[in-house]
Structure 1
Amino acid sequence: MMRYKFISLMMVLLLFVSACGSETVSSTEKIKWLSYDEGIKQGKQGGKKVFISFYADWCTFCEKMEKETFRKNEVVGFVNENFVAIRVNSDKEAEIARKYFVRGLPMTWFMDANGEKISSIPGYIPPDMFMQVLNFVHSDSYKSMTFKEFVDKHDSKS
């Protein structure tokens, strides 16, 4: 009997801890997505780097990235403050997807404020890694080191 109480208590505690630790974004806190043309224009006018997220409605990993990565408070705040965010449906805007050589989804591209391509990352990116990528690009570290060197340097400071 005592064993069942202990197991029940542990399950309740586990549920409570996981609920407290989850980072959800309120309905008012979202990435400010722009259309391709508007985003490129704003990037140039505002002197901000641009990130483009290519997706499709049928793509399960695109949906996972939307729910897990693009809704995390830390990601939303950093993107809205430091980047111009563009969302492109590769099925509906196939010409733009071809321009960026999108062969698989999701696909993330980064560009400087002048519209020059910096780099692309294929596939799903978990929130913590995406934050590292955002910091790598935003800080211009990509100009002087590899992403691995950047991560190693910042992990050693922790």
Structure 2
Amino acid sequence: MKKFLVGLLIFGLFWFGCNKQPSEPKFTVDPNPVIKQAVDNKKNLIVIFESETCQYCDKLNREVLKDMEVKQNLVKNNIEIAIVDVNGSRKVLDPEGKKEVDEKTLAGIYRVTGYPTIAVFNPDKNYELIGVIPGYIPKDYFIKLGDYIGSKCYEKTEFQKYIENGGKC
């Protein structure tokens, strides 16, 4: 009887492990129209570089970017977000260089080596790169980043100093 229960337990774990729901497909939104819209409308722009197998990218999407407070913050601060597949072949506009390249090339231009990588561009200076944040950042930190961009504090101070100053330029 004990062997039967152990066998049933192993079978159950195998069955449920193999039949779990597939994760949400990644990279379903083409980043190029988002980047072009931001550039055409002089909106603030964040480009997030991700990879297919990146767990922290999934966490950023699930816990931060889908959060209603974060979404409201992005709208308030006039920020568009484009998510780029570092191994992708779709054509995207390089916001700074104004040339269309594939996603993989764009990741190389900005020397992306870890995922996620968050790149912030300045609409007032022809989408010059303001800075890059490597790795996952939690919701509260992401909201502070949105406020930093929206208030144009990047013209006066670095993001880390902005954080240290309690969200003041």
Higher helix share: 1
User: For 2:29 and 2:122, how far apart are their aligned partners in 1?
Assistant: 16
Give the RMSD, CA atoms, in angstroms.
Answer: 2.0
User: For 1:88 and 1:155, how far apart are their aligned partners in 2?
Assistant: 28
Q: Work out which of the two has the higher radius of gyration on C-alpha atoms and give 1 or 2.
A: 2
Q: Could you say what secondary structure the match of 2:165 adopts?
A: helix
Which residue of 32, 35, 42 maps to 1:37? 32
Check 1:151–1:45 CA distance in 2 against 1; reply closer, same or farther (3 A cut).
Answer: same
Check 1:103–1:134 CA distance in 2 against 1; reply closer, same or farther (3 A cut).
Answer: same
1:146 CA displacement: 2.4
CA contact (8 A) 2:148 2:167 kept: no
Match of 2:148 in 1: 136
Which residue of 43, 46, 71 maps to 2:41? 46
1:96 CA displacement: 1.4
Cα deviation 1:52-109 (Å, max 9, x = unaligned): 1111120011111111111111111222441121110111121111111111100000
TM superposition score normalised by structure 2: 0.66
What is the percent sequence identity of the aligned residues?
A: 27
Match of 1:75 in 2: 70
- Residue-pair matches, total: 124
Matched, 1:106 2:102: no
Which residue of 78, 82, 89 maps to 2:85? 89
The unaligned stretches of length 5 or more in structure 1 are 1-32
TM superposition score normalised by structure 1: 0.71
CA contact (8 A) 1:40 1:115 kept: no
Q: Could you say what secondary structure the match of 1:39 adopts?
A: helix
